[in-house]
Every structure is written in structure tokens, then in C-alpha cells.
Amino acid sequence: MSKSASVGDKLPDIALTAPDGSVVKPSDFAGRKLVLFFYPKDDTPGCTTENLDFSALADDFAAAGTALLGISKDSPARHQKFAAKHGLKAPLATDAQEGGLSDALGIWTEKQNYGRTYMGMVRTTLLVGPDGTIARVWDKVKVKGHAAEVLEAAKAL
């Protein structure tokens, strides 16, 4: 088990896959603030709400000089369908590889539900400064009001 993401850590520059199949890396956002929101699964109620909330505030994040990137283990094709179905404005990326970014940050971890143990994504948001250092970590996120709280923190950074 890798350690969890902590304030002051450098964000690992591990490649992700964009819905169009291209590669996206945290270093692509160097010099800008970046919000990475990790969520369990496309098109589930909480994840849809979270993506819609970040999308609704996408212009405000841009005005605050902050890029957005939603990340799950879903395939690029599934991300494309999800984004199209809900008109999402926040870009998405796939972190499917073993030892990927969510593994390195301790966000892909063992979970339990109804007595069953399985590997899953813990809903986590990171606010990364322009220098690539993690400025704030929200773990085990509750969706309601979360995107607005992250926006306020991004404006203050």
C-alpha cells in the first residue's frame, strides 16, 4: 500500500489517458493551479452529481486560473459517453494502469461494503499549486457543496 497524498508533497507526474486516447500528465498543467477530483465510477448518482457540480463551476475555476481534471478507472470510451450524456465541461481522464496516479497517491485502495472487500477509488480531491505541490487534500469527499468549497480554496491559493 502506498502512502496517501499529503499537503506539501510534489504531485507524481504519472500519465493518464484522455477520453480521445491522448496522454495527459499533471506536468501539462505546470504554472497553473490544478484540481484533480478522483471519483469511483462514471454514471453513478454521486459521481454524476460531483461531475455536474464541477462542470457548472468550470468557468469560475478557469477565471481563478485553475484547471480541472476528473479521474476514475473507467475506460476512455466510457468517459466519452458519460461526458456527452451529461454535457460535462470538466475534462476527464482514465487512470487504469496498475501503479497509476491513484495508486501512487493511496486513493485506489481496499474498501469494504456489506462485508465484501474489494479495491476501489476513494472519492478524493487534490488542489495542486502552480509549482506542482499539493496545497490541499479532501478525502472521503461528501459531494454536496464540495465543488464550491474547492473553488473557494482555489481562489485563495
DSSP labels, 3-58: PPP-TTPBPP---EE-TTS-EE-GGGGTTSEEEEEE-S-TTSHHHHHHHHHHHHTH
Residue 71: predicted pLDDT: 98
CATH number, domain with residue 96: 3.40.30.10
Assigned domain for 5 exists: no
Residue 110: predicted pLDDT: 92
pTM (whole model) above 0.75: yes
Count of structural domains, the chain = 1
- Report the first-to-last Cα separation within the chain, whole angstroms: 30
CA–CA distance from 61 to each of 10, 24, 35, 58, 126 (Å)? 22, 19, 9, 5, 14
Local confidence band at 3 (pLDDT 50, 70, 90 cut-offs): low
Local confidence band at 104 (pLDDT 50, 70, 90 cut-offs): very high
Mean pLDDT value of segment 44-51: 97
Local confidence band at 1 (pLDDT 50, 70, 90 cut-offs): very low
Q: Which of 69, 135, 75, 140 is nearest to 106 (CA)?
A: 140
Question: Residue 75 and residue 3: Cα distance in Å, rounded?
Answer: 25
Task: Give yes or no for a contact between 23 and 16, defined as CB atoms under 8 angstroms apart.
Answer: yes
Assigned domain for 122 exists: yes
CA–CA distance from 132 to each of 12, 89, 113 (Å)? 9, 23, 34
Assigned domain for 1 exists: no
Local confidence band at 113 (pLDDT 50, 70, 90 cut-offs): confident
Assigned domain for 98 exists: yes
Assigned domain for 23 exists: yes
Assigned domain for 2 exists: no
Full strand arrangement of the beta sheet holding 134-138 = 23-24, 16-17, 92-94, 66-72, 33-38, 124-128, 134-138
Assigned domain for 109 exists: yes
Task: Give yes or no for a contact between 60 and 149, defined as CB atoms under 8 angstroms apart.
Answer: no
Assigned domain for 139 exists: yes
Task: Give yes or no for a contact between 75 and 96, defined as CB atoms under 8 angstroms apart.
Answer: yes
> Which residues constitute the domain of residue 135?
17-156
Average pLDDT, the chain: 95
Mean pLDDT value of segment 78-94: 97
Task: List active site positions.
Answer: 47
